[in-house]
Amino acid sequence: MAEAIELLPPGLAETGFAETGQAGTGQAGTGQAGTAQAGTGQAGTGQAGTVRGAPGKRQVRPPRHLADLDQAGRRAAVTELGQPGYRADQLSRHYFARLTDDPADMTDLPADVRAELGGALLPPLLTALRELECDGGTTRKTLWRAFDGAYVESVLMRYPDRVTMCVSSQAGCGMACPFCATGQAGLTRNLSTAEIVAQVFAGARELAAGAVPGGPGRVSNVVFMGMGEPLANYRSVLAAVRRITDPAPAGLGISQRSVTVSTVGLVPAIRKLTAEGLSVRLAVSLHAPDDELRDELVPVNRRWKVAEVLDAAWDYAAATGRRVSIEYAMIRDINDHAWRADRLAGLLAGRLAHVNLIPLNPTPGSKWTASDPAVAAEFLDRLAARGVPVTVRDTRGTQIDGACGQLAASAVPARPEPAQRASVTDRGPTTRGHDR
Ligand code: SAH
């Protein structure tokens, strides 16, 4: 694992993790990551302010948007603009139910009011720079540029029975996992609530317009498995979850049960999430059952160990009644040993958990590659033999750099070519074992 250690420092240095040894604590641990952002109910001016991202850097805050605000915040915002409160409900209906953010379409509003409210509360946040598709157009990846030039990606995946949007929660990521493209590039900044919601909105609008093969449709699932560590941007992510799941027209009306928040294992934030009383699915990116290896693959493990992370996960499962997804990227000769499968089975047997084995999406320039299929099959068998539900994730979108982080990285010439990330599909067809 010496080579793994050598791969780590760039991200660590950038996040301040190296100095404090507490990646994520200043953010997720205290829930303050989003305090400077356009947050729920904030009666801002709509002007750009500063936002916390990587420590020591000051960035300009994204403009305030309707989707940053809860319903009370929206009413307060329109009242401040000299309009009656019900205008907020009209705007909400247009954005969250009719899926339009073009004031010209809002013909139930007087023209001057449209222009004023649209300008103040529906500023453009993300501009599509590139769109790539594969699987006959049913997997579509978008590279977005934010108002400040930050890049993020989202992926729409249409299956026969559902449509999943994989969204980014941060531009870049500070968690520095050495096998992950985004982790190599470091953190640029947290996304605002509305920037997260805008990714789902865009997919929902494409589907509603019939632009995705398969006819008009809806987004049924959202997974926070794009760029970034969602629980390190706790406040904005939580507000985004509410906007995504609140019934229309307050929100997009997607079931909480169909939303997955994936984390490296920021224990205080998992506990905070547990206390929210939501029924979203929690995914934990474990990747190793032992601290020695996990310290390298998921560096935040140096702060919160496997046992602590799983304790928090089991408490989440107990509180919500929902199985926790354990994500495990299969890396040849690194974490795919039979004894590690047995160790993992020992940790998970009898728990409310499901393992997703993800063939590593090998990264250009890295020595690491996906496990040999026979080795991966044995790993799966060993878990299944102990009664641990396990599936192998389908890897959609590898042809289009489905590979989150890769597109954004190649759009930033100043940055070194980072590693490629796995295509971030939600679960794929079950090969063996139980479905979750
Ligand atoms: N930061 C969050 C969510 C984003 S990553 C987290 O770590 O959970 C979504 C999933 O893709 C995580 O399980 C992550 O470990 C995995 N992943 C990242 N790079 C990968 C790669 N090259 N191959 C396979 N899986 C990868």
Instruction: With beta carbons less than 8 A apart as the criterion, state whether 355 and 324 touch.
Output: no
Return the sign of the alpha-carbon dihedral for residues 281, 154, 395, 177: negative
Residue in 99, 202, 186 with CA at minimum distance from that of residue 151: 186
Instruction: With beta carbons less than 8 A apart as the criterion, state whether 297 and 4 touch.
Output: yes
Residue 435 C-beta-side C-alpha neighbours within 13 Å: 6
Rama region for 184: left / alpha / beta (φ>0; ψ in -120 to 50; rest): alpha
CA-nearest residue for atom 12, ligand 1, is 285
Max Cα separation, the chain? 68
Phi, psi angle pair for 355, to nearest 5°: -100, 130
Reply yes or no on whether the pLDDT at 8 is more than 60: no
pLDDT at position 31 is 32
pLDDT at position 393 is 80
* Mean pLDDT computed over 333-362: 96
* Mean pLDDT computed over 113-131: 96
167 Cβ inside 6 Å of ligand 1: no
Query: Relative to the CA of 327, which ligand 1 atom is closest?
Result: 13
113 Cβ inside 6 Å of ligand 1: no
pLDDT at position 366 is 81
Phi, psi angle pair for 326, to nearest 5°: -105, 115
336 Cβ inside 6 Å of ligand 1: no
User: What is residue 29's DSSP assignment?
Assistant: I
CA-nearest residue for atom 22, ligand 1, is 421
CA-nearest residue for atom 16, ligand 1, is 422
* Mean pLDDT computed over 173-179: 95
pLDDT at position 273 is 98
Residue type, 153: E
Ligand 1 pocket mutation, candidates 17, 166, 223, 262, criterion most atoms within 8 A of CB: 262
pLDDT (tens digit, 9 = 90+) per residue, 193-245? 999 999 999 999 999 999 999 999 999 999 999 999 999 999 999 999 999 99
Reply yes or no on whether the pLDDT at 418 is more than 90: no
pLDDT at position 424 is 32
Q: Is 180 a catalytic residue?
A: no
* Mean pLDDT computed over 258-275: 98
Pick the catalytic residue from 153, 206, 229, 296. 153
pLDDT (tens digit, 9 = 90+) per residue, 271-328? 999 999 999 999 999 999 999 999 999 999 999 999 999 999 999 999 999 999 999 9
What is the 422 CA–ligand 1 centroid distance (Å)? 7
262 Cβ inside 6 Å of ligand 1: yes
Cα–Cα distance, 237 to 257 (Å, whole number)? 16
Per-chain mean pLDDT for the chain? 82
- Per-residue pLDDT band for 21 (boundaries 50, 70, 90) equals very low
Cα–Cα distance, 416 to 204 (Å, whole number)? 34
Residue type, 56: G
Which has more pLDDT, 364 or 50?
Answer: 364
* Mean pLDDT computed over 325-351: 98
Q: Is 166 a catalytic residue?
A: no
To 5 degrees, how large is the angle CA 69–CA 73–CA 74? 75
pTM: 0.84
